[in-house]
């Protein structure tokens, strides 16, 4: 039946028993999330599942269907409960659920237009549609105006919501791709418990190493740097494995850190760990070249706000961490700041 995918391209309705109407698509999405009568879900969860796994349906037609009260009861603030008729329809039309999708998963929709990358993140938890262009946050008005200035054509119905208009534009043709974003918090918490350089009980709390406020810097010692790298790699590996990727550490002999593969898809991941807020990270020339040559099959995985403490025997422990994932990672020269130069010393004049 229809598997719960981690990423994909414009959905062709494959792995579905027959072509579904828009009304059936919403019920299929409900079935895929294991919903029963009375189960409450935010509309963004259902819409994003339809747009990622089934068909490129605009927001407005799906909204009109979910509001008609045939299978759904509105709960306010965009939340809806499946009613008895909806549960019966699902039971009569779809078979046993092979796996259940996450009701709180975020979805990232991406489309490239004239060398610019337009993205919308659908977040059902915060009930937001977040817009980005080339990795920079823009409000929906700014993003849509930029598209108009670039000569883009909008097929979507008229809407007052500019973030929804941007998402409609992204999915209106079959040249977009999407990714299901699972919150990294449980993974970080799990690793914080299971991965320790030294036992937490041996940490001397009064020897915590001061943290910098912003930007990754050259670390004070090789021990700290190695500890940060090891912790970051563990967190990144666990994150992508959780999404179904096969993950290989290639950091020792390649210009990136993790090689991820799922079916025919490959992703090259650069991993950075820092005690700062991660506003900037250090890149080598080879890392820059690799990221530019392999776009869009590259990602930047930054773990910031690490806490470092030192044991009485000078062992190092790393804890905490906040994950930021940039995928695809588009790196431009305007994002780079020189931190040094190689100077060829003139030959001595005799």
The pLDDT tens digits for 147-196 are 999 999 888 766 667 889 999 999 988 889 898 876 443 333 333 333 22
d(CA 273, CA 251): 14
Per-residue pLDDT, 188: 34
Question: Exposed, middle or buried: residue 90 (CB in 10 Å: 0-12, 13-18, 19+)?
Answer: buried
Per-residue pLDDT, 308: 87
Strand partners, 246: 261
Task: Supply 86's token pair.
Answer: 């909806």
DSSP string, 221-238: -HHHHHHHHHHHHHHHHH
Tell me which H or E stretch contains 311: none
Find where tokens 């041996």 sit.
202
Per-residue pLDDT, 190: 32
Q: What is the pTM of this model?
A: 0.53
User: What is each CA distance from 147 to 144, 151, 162, 178, in whole angstroms?
Assistant: 5, 6, 12, 20
Per-residue pLDDT, 159: 67
Strands across the sheet containing 265-273: 246-249, 258-262, 265-273, 298-310, 316-326
Per-residue pLDDT, 219: 45
Task: Supply 26's token pair.
Answer: 């919403």
Find where tokens 């990727």 sit.
245
Contact 29, 2 (CB under 8 A): no
User: What is each CA distance from 231 to 34, 193, 209, 302, 311, in whole angstroms?
Assistant: 35, 12, 17, 11, 17
Angle between helix 162-171 and helix 59-66 axes, rounded to 10 deg:
110
Which three-class secondary structure string do you get for 27-71?
HHHHHHCCCCCCCEEEHHHHHHHHHHHHCCCCHHHHHHHHCCCCC
Segments of the chain with pLDDT less than 70: 1-4, 12-18, 97-99, 157-160, 182-220, 334, 348-350
Per-residue pLDDT, 120: 94
Tell me which H or E stretch contains 129: strand 128-133
Give the rounded distance of the alpha carbon of 294 from its chain centre.
Answer: 19
Q: Could you tell me which residues come within 8 angstroms of residue 278 by beta carbon, excluding any fewer than 6 positions away?
A: 216, 272, 302, 303, 304, 305, 322, 324
Q: Could you tell me which residues come within 8 angstroms of residue 300 by beta carbon, excluding any fewer than 6 positions away?
A: 269, 270, 272, 281, 291, 325, 326, 327, 329
Find where tokens 């719960």 sit.
4
Provide φ and ψ at 31, rounded to 5°: -60, -40
Per-residue pLDDT, 163: 87
Q: Could you tell me which residues come within 8 angstroms of residue 301 by beta carbon, excluding any fewer than 6 positions away?
A: 232, 236, 239, 258, 269, 270, 271, 272, 323, 324, 325, 326
């Amino acid at each position: 039946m229809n598997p719960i995918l981690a990423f994909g391209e414009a959905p062709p309705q494959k792995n579905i028993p027959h072509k579904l109407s828009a009304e059936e698509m919403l019920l299929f999405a409900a079935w895929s999330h294991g919903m029963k009568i009375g189960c409450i879900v935010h509309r963004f969860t259902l819409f994003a599942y339809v747009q990622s796994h089934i068909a490129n349906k605009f927001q407005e037609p799906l909204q009109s269907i979910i509001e008609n009260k045939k299978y759904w009861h509105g709960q306010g603030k965009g939340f809806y409960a499946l009613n008895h008729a909806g549960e019966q329809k699902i039971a009569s039309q779809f078979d046993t659920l092979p796996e259940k999708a996450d009701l709180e998963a975020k979805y990232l929709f991406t489309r490239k237009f004239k060398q610019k990358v337009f993205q919308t993140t659908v977040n059902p938890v915060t009930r937001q549609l977040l817009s980005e262009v080339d990795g920079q946050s823009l409000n929906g008005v700014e993003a849509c105006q930029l598209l108009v200035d670039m000569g883009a054509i909008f097929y979507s119905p008229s809407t007052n919501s500019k973030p929804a208009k941007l998402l409609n534009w992204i999915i209106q043709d079959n040249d977009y791709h999407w990714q299901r974003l699972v919150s990294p918090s449980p993974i970080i918490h799990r690793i914080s418990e299971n991965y320790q350089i030294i036992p937490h009980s041996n940490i001397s709390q009064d020897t915590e190493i001061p943290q910098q406020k912003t930007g990754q810097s050259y670390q004070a010692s090789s021990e700290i740097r190695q500890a940060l790298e090891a912790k970051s790699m563990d967190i990144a590996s666990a994150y992508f494995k959780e999404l179904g990727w096969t993950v290989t550490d290639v950091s020792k002999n390649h210009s990136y850190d993790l090689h991820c593969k799922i079916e025919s898809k490959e992703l090259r991941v650069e991993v950075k760990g820092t005690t700062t807020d991660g506003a900037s990270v250090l890149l080598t020339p080879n890392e820059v070249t690799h990221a530019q040559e392999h776009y869009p099959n590259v990602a930047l995985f930054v773990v910031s706000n690490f806490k470092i403490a030192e044991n009485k025997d000078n062992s190092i422990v790393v804890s905490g961490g906040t994950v930021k994932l940039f995928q695809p990672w588009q790196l431009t020269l305007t994002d780079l700041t020189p931190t040094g130069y190689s100077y060829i010393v003139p030959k001595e004049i005799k």
